[in-house]
């Protein structure tokens, strides 16, 4: 299974969208400062995640959530 997840920074309430095969491990990496992009905005809370059967499906949905209409969809329906 592949997952798309949304984290929210406790520091500035910004959202971070990502994908992974292991949500628990990836969430810990973000909060431990092991992710370069999200390091400065930690700590995070896990706001939402969803499983996909294929990596391709997960990456397609992650890409959508990172675009304008995807941002709006996530804020209105997911978090």
Residue 38: domain span:
2-78
pLDDT one digit per residue (tens) for the chain, 79 residues: 999 999 999 999 999 999 999 999 999 999 999 988 888 999 999 999 999 999 999 999 999 999 999 999 999 999 9
Structure tokens given for 48? 């939402």
CATH of the domain at 6: 3.40.1440.10
Q: Are strands 15-20 and 2-9 parallel, antiparallel or unpaired?
A: antiparallel
pLDDT of residue 32: 95
Count of structural domains within the chain: 1
- 26, with CB counted inside 10 A (0-12, 13-18, 19+), is buried
Do 21 and 27 meet the contact criterion of CB atoms below 8 Å apart? Answer: no
**Torsion angle (degrees, nearest 10) of CA 69, 71, 77, 79:** 180
């Amino acid at each position: 299974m592949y997952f798309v997840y949304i984290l929210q920074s406790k520091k500035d309430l910004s959202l971070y969208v990502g994908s992974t095969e292991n949500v628990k491990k990836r969430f810990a990496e973000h909060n431990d400062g092991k992710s370069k992009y999200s390091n400065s905005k930690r700590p995070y809370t896990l706001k939402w995640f969803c499983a996909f059967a294929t990596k391709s499906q997960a990456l397609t949905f992650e890409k959508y959530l990172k675009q304008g209409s995807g941002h709006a969809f996530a804020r209105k329906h997911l978090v």
